[in-house]
Structure formats: structure tokens, C-alpha cells
Structure 1
Amino acid sequence: MSHYFITGATGAIGSSLVPVLLQQPTSELTLLLRAETADKLNERLEELYRFWGIGSSDQAARQRIRALRGDVTLPEFGLTAHEYKALCAACTHIIHAAGNVRMNLPIEQARRSSVDSAKHVVALAHAAPKLEKIEFVSTVGVGGRTYRQVPEEWLTDRRDFHNTYEQAKAEAEELVRGEAERGLPVTVHRPSMVVGESASGRIIHFQVFYHLCEFLSGQRTRGLSPRFGGTRLDVVPADYVAKTIAWSSQTSASGGLILHSCSGPTLAVALVPLRERVRAAFSRAGRDLPRMVELPTPLFKAIVAGVSVFMPTELRRAVRTLPVFLDYLATEQTFINQRTQELLAAAQLPVPHPDRYLDKVLDYYLERSR
């Protein structure tokens, strides 16, 4: 019997992961969910059941899932002494997928989300006598600005970061690296920009990629666009990341390794063709699109900043986040995934080609954002 403790079950990766783990007939899952009251906890769990398609009559699946009300940033996750003791006694696997993906938080808040939560996960690992494996979800963003090719290994050189999210995740990785070197059975997973599931486009929340697509469509900038040149964007479907994590949790072969769940150098999508794909999808959905006008990036930023003063409040807020995206896209990076793919070959988990899923991802978004 495998007993998984999972953080981040309400996120893009965690919500895709739970159905994969339930395919293992002997697995039981404990989910850590934030909720103000016990009633709110039940409401959140029911929302997840609806997303997973687990109806009230499916008691076999429901009996294998337990939700605890807590907070990953608190010592012992804010659980009662009884709850924490029982968790330690039962836990055989930890999957830490929780994280605040806001990129521009004050650094101390970002550290609470990433570094403090990592400390508490490590503490649980040391207190769980049956522990077999930890899967720690990080991000390819820990490469910061320094690496043109981010390798599948621990990054120890000094480097600058695009934002506090990347910095805090890198600091959390450094903590985990020390534990791995002392023998903790942990695998670090670095996904790139996560999008909806490859077969359906489904995703629980619309995050960074979808905001970027709104800008690529030209709607939020009145058709103005910076010149992207040959810049590429690495995206990956949530179900591919989830299957990789689930596979890794059941093998010692990945212990102590860094796995890059990403499209990699050969499948990362060039931004100009992506923009055309986005605009085609928006047009199919009946969106009125302005004619695109490309500008040098400094001029684009200056014009958009000036024009945003006259925009409605909601649109103005959205436009003000654009520098965050532009800063990220200005760094020409690729993320190496050769070793990860070699390791996953035996599990028959090839990286899906973006041409197979991007239209589904965009259509799913547009059907639900009218």
C-alpha cells in the first residue's frame, strides 16, 4: 500500500496528478488543502471531485482520498498534533507541488511560499518512518538569466533572476540539494510553462500561458506587438508532468536526479508562429482582432504605458503585467531534457509535440472565457 501526501492538489499539476495516482489500485492519497473552516474544506474537496469526474456514487475512489485542512507554509502544516502524528506514521510518498506562481511578490512572501514550505516537507520526510520517496516540484525558471541552456543538474553558480518567484524556487532547490546529498530519497522536477492536458486542453486554472496568449492576440494592446525575432517559448501539458511525477514516485532510478518536464530545445515553440496560432484560435471563437503592428520593444513599452492611462481599470491592470512577460521572453533560453527523456523511454512517456495539443488548449480556454 502506498500512502501519498500531496500538496498543491488544487494547482495545474496537482489536479492533473491525482487521477493518475488513483490508477494505482493500492494507493491512498492525503491532500493538504487551505480552507478557513471544515465546511470550506469539504466545499473545496467537492470542487476537486467535480473536476476529476468523481461523483458521489463513486465511493471506492472517494474512500482513497482524504483532505486535511492546513497550510504548507506553516510548521507541521498547521495540523493538529494528532493529525500530524498520524500523517507521519502513514506516509510512504510525498509529492510537493504547492506554490504561489505570482512572479512579482515581495521576496519574503515568495520565500514563505517556496523555502518555508520546502523546510516543512523535509521535516515531514525525516519524521515519516515508512517514507520511500519524495517528488519535489520546482521550475525551469531556477536557471534565471544566466544559462542559455539550463542543464538537468543542480545549479550552484551565482545568477540573476527575472523575478522573486524564480529566486525563491532556486533557494528552495538549494535546501533540497543539501538534503539529497545527505541521502534523502528525493527527485526534483522542473516543469516549464504548464498548459492544459494534451488530449482535451482541460486545466483547473488559467495561469501564465493564458495571460500571455491574451497579449499575443493583440486585443489587450490594440494590436501593438514587440518584435519577437527568434524567441521561443517552452510549454508542456499538465498531464505529461503528472505522469512523469507518478512514474518517478515508484522508482529509485530517479532518486537524487533533476528531471526536466519540458518540450526542450527541439520542440519549444517560436513566438511568431505561436502568435499566429493564437490569433487563429481567437478568430475561430468570434473574437474581433486588431491588425498587428510590430514595434521595437523599447518603443512598444513606452507607447503601451502611455495608452494604458486611458484604458478601463481591469484592462489597465492587465497591461501593467506585460513587462513581467517581456522580461521573461527577452532571455533566450533552452532547457535540456535529453537525460529525462532517456530515463522516461522505458515508461513510454515521450514529450508530446505542441502541434498535437496547442489548439485543444486554446479552444478549451476560449470556450470558458467568453
Structure 2
Amino acid sequence: MTILLTGATGFLGMEFVARAVQADTADVVCVIRADDDAHAARRLHDTLTTLYGDDVPAAADDRLIAVAGNLEQPGLGLGPAAASLVADRVTRIVHGAASIRFDLPLDEARAVNVDGTAHVLGVARALHAAGRLRRYVHVSTAYVAGRHAGDVHESGSPVTGAPRNTYEQTKREAEVLVREAAAAGLPAVIARPSIVVGDSQTGWTPAFNVLYWPLRALSRGMLGATVPADPDGLVDVVPVDFVADAIAYLTVTDEPVSGTYHLTAGPAATQIGELMDMGCAAFGCDRPAVAPPIAAGDVDGSGHEAGVFIPYFDVLSHFDATRARALLEPAGITCPPLADYFDRIVGYAVAARWGKTGCTRAAAGVQPDAVSAI
């Protein structure tokens, strides 16, 4: 089995890579933005160092192939040798690369998230026409629902909530391309994670954004006496090990998977008020008052400097995950409630000084279960 992976140097991508190395049953062609294949190999090596330090398993050299590419170019900008490798060997694709910045101008976000998806789909269509492609997994986000209030189902129905930012808008536009390709016969599935945080067993993460910002601000008294949030708003949080396990399973399973799968907490999503209670208990501080959220554009320097995150403090979307649970739970892949591992992610964040220090994934003791195997 040979898998083409975009986004290998990102948080989710490196977790997928770690599972491939552990399982030692699939080769992974990692398309990495780089000047040439040697540069791509160096970037992959840096990723492996983040995972393993100086003790990189031998299987990484045997199973991982780094090639230079560019999502913004047709054919992913692959050189002749890499393009031939993909055409001859790849049977499955995981498209995980994206710009996750919330504040990019729309044209820049589209260049990566929409045009990039179109170019990956072009490679997928060529493999499918040659009779090789078994699965295309598109990593999206549950927040393509935008500001929709109420249930969001795992159906092909268009979502109508106004997007909060260019990230949500362009990820939604990319999904349209994937659904069109699936309707034309491409074996494609869409995975929609919600807010991804550290490993549920150790708290390990190399990325400290979204949920980590308000927690850090709370721990340092930076939020002030009043927090701009809806106390009934939902914070749908999932640990990275659950998401990576699920994406790996969607990639390799021989079950007839199709359509969209919500990799979310679903009915176990945490309310803002509950999150604040957990945070205050962890940091030994008083709970701030809650006031109606302010628009990101109204944020000043008074402690709410990460204005791009504030629109996520009043989410009223309920992400139904019935299809995903029916598929994943029999395989032993389940999403724990945030309360079960909250102290671990906070403990690691504090020990890592919210990203200023930290340790490798291996040193943190992360050990995927057998269900994670690719």
C-alpha cells in the first residue's frame, strides 16, 4: 500500500506519519513544499525530529518518501521522477495540507485551500482513471458550518451559516469540489474534525492555538474581569490521537466508506461555562464574568489581542457524529470527553510554557494503540 500525503509537516500530518512508521505496512509519499527533493527530505527530517528526537525508527527511512511539491501548481508541481512515482505506486491519498490562518485575505486562502484541493483532485482523478485509486480522504473542518445554530449533520446538504473568516469560507468551497468529484465516481470521503488539541493520554502537542490561547490568557489573568462569550456556546474539542486514528482508518479500511464523517465530540461537546469552570479549577483562579461576544474587528489591546479566536466563543452548532461513531467505534476508535483529559493537555501546555519549550512526542510517552496501525 502506498499513500500520498499532503500536510506531513503539520500537526495532524505528523501524527499520521507516526502511525505509518509504527505500523510499518505502508509506504507514504509526503508531498512537501520545498525547493527540491533534498529540501523536502530535510523538512521531513525536522518533522521526524519533533516526533522522535535523535532516535528516529529505521522504518521511517524505509517507508517515508519526501518529494518537493506545491499545492498551488497543477500536478502539485511534482518533478518528473516524483510524478512517475505517484502514477506507478500510489493507491490512496490523504489531503491534509491547508492554510489554517483565520486572517488571510480571501484570494490567498483560496490559492491554498481551494486551488490546492483542485490540484490534488487532479492527481486523484488521473490515478482513478488508471484504475489505481482506492480512496481519497479530504481533511476539512466541522466549522464549514459557519455561524449555523442548531444541528449540523454528516450529509451532503449545503451548510448555510455565514463563515466567520476566510479559513471557514475556503474550506467550505473546497468541500464543494470534493463532493462534485465524488458524484462523478471518485472514491472520496470528507473528514471534518472540530477543534483539535493535544494527545489525550499525555497532552503532547507542538501547536498551541485556538483553545490554548484563552486557556493561557485565563492562567495569566489576561482575560480581565469579563470574557466576551456565550455561556451556552459549545466548544467542540477532540484530541489529536482520536482524529489521527480516525483519518488513518478512513484511509485504509476496506469497508465501503463514503460521504462525510464528523470527527467531533458530538453530544459530549463542552459548554463555554463548563470550560471556564475546568480552567479556573486547573489554574486556581476566579471565574470571570461573561458578556456578549465582541466582533473580532472591535478587539483592542486590552487583553483580547487574539481577536481571530473570539468568534469561536459563541458557537451554537451541534455537530452530529452518528455516521462516524457507527463506523469507528466497532474498530475501537472513540472520542473521550474533554473532562477526561483536560488536566493532561493543560499540564503539558504549562510544562511546555505554552509552546516556548516542550519535548518530543516520543519523550512525552505517546504510544498509539494497535487500532491506529496503517
TM-score class, shorter: 0.7 to 0.9
Cα separation, partners in 2 of 1:232 and 1:218, compared to 1, 3 Å: farther
Which residue of 1 is the match for residue 271 of structure 2? 270
Kindly indicate whether residue 221 of structure 2 is the aligned counterpart of residue 219 of structure 1: yes
Secondary structure of the structure 1 residue equivalent to 2:241:
helix
Q: Distance in 1 between matches of 2:343 and 2:317?
A: 24
Which residue of 2 is the match for residue 297 of structure 1? 292
* Most deviating of 88-97 and 253-262: 253-262
Which residue of 2 is the match for residue 99 of structure 1? 98
Which residue of 2 is the match for residue 329 of structure 1? 313
Deviation at residue 97 of structure 1 after TM alignment: 0.7
Secondary structure of the structure 2 residue equivalent to 1:242:
helix
Q: Distance in 2 between matches of 1:211 and 1:195?
A: 12
Deviation at residue 41 of structure 1 after TM alignment: 3.1
Q: Distance in 2 between matches of 1:302 and 1:49?
A: 38
Secondary structure of the structure 2 residue equivalent to 1:248:
helix
Q: Distance in 2 between matches of 1:268 and 1:295?
A: 19
Deviation at residue 119 of structure 1 after TM alignment: 0.7
Kindly indicate whether residue 238 of structure 2 is the aligned counterpart of residue 236 of structure 1: yes
Which residue of 1 is the match for residue 21 of structure 2? 22
Which residue of 2 is the match for residue 90 of structure 1? 89
Deviation at residue 276 of structure 1 after TM alignment: 3.0
Equivalent residue in structure 2 for 1:340, among 324, 328, 333: 324
Give the % identical residues.
Answer: 30
Q: Distance in 2 between matches of 1:146 and 1:117?
A: 26
The Cα RMSD (Å) is: 2.5
- Aligned residue-pair number: 351
The residue type paired with residue 229 of structure 1 is P
The residue type paired with residue 273 of structure 1 is E
Q: Distance in 2 between matches of 1:57 and 1:331?
A: 41
Kindly indicate whether residue 134 of structure 2 is the aligned counterpart of residue 135 of structure 1: no
Q: Distance in 1 between matches of 2:184 and 2:236?
A: 33
Q: Distance in 1 between matches of 2:313 and 2:158?
A: 23
Q: Distance in 1 between matches of 2:196 and 2:256?
A: 21
What pairs up with 1:246-257 in 2 under 5 angstroms?
246-257=248-259
Q: Distance in 2 between matches of 1:4 and 1:68?
A: 13
Cα separation, partners in 2 of 1:258 and 1:108, compared to 1, 3 Å: same
Cα separation, partners in 2 of 1:245 and 1:254, compared to 1, 3 Å: farther
Cα separation, partners in 2 of 1:292 and 1:250, compared to 1, 3 Å: closer
Say whether the 8 Å CA contact 1:216–1:225 is kept in structure 2: no
Secondary structure of the structure 2 residue equivalent to 1:189:
strand
Say whether the 8 Å CA contact 2:192–2:260 is kept in structure 1: yes
Which residue of 1 is the match for residue 362 of structure 2? none
Q: Distance in 1 between matches of 2:179 and 2:15?
A: 26
The residue type paired with residue 291 of structure 2 is P
* Structure 1: runs of 5+ lacking an equivalent: 284-288
Deviation at residue 54 of structure 1 after TM alignment: 7.0
Deviation at residue 9 of structure 1 after TM alignment: 1.3
The residue type paired with residue 81 of structure 2 is H
Deviation at residue 40 of structure 1 after TM alignment: 4.3
Which residue of 2 is the match for residue 170 of structure 1? 172
Q: TM-score, normalised by structure 1?
A: 0.87
* Most deviating of 105-114 and 291-300: 291-300
Say whether the 8 Å CA contact 2:280–2:287 is kept in structure 1: no
Deviation at residue 137 of structure 1 after TM alignment: 0.2
Q: Deviations over 1:44-63 (max 9, x none)?
A: 22222223327567323321
Deviation at residue 341 of structure 1 after TM alignment: 0.5
* Most deviating of 153-162 and 336-345: 153-162
Q: Distance in 2 between matches of 1:74 and 1:154?
A: 28
Kindly indicate whether residue 59 of structure 2 is the aligned counterpart of residue 64 of structure 1: no
Deviation at residue 136 of structure 1 after TM alignment: 0.6
Deviation at residue 155 of structure 1 after TM alignment: 3.1
Which residue of 2 is the match for residue 48 of structure 1? 47
* Structure 2: runs of 5+ lacking an equivalent: 357-374
Which residue of 2 is the match for residue 155 of structure 1? 157
Q: TM-score, normalised by structure 2?
A: 0.86
Which residue of 1 is the match for residue 125 of structure 2? 126
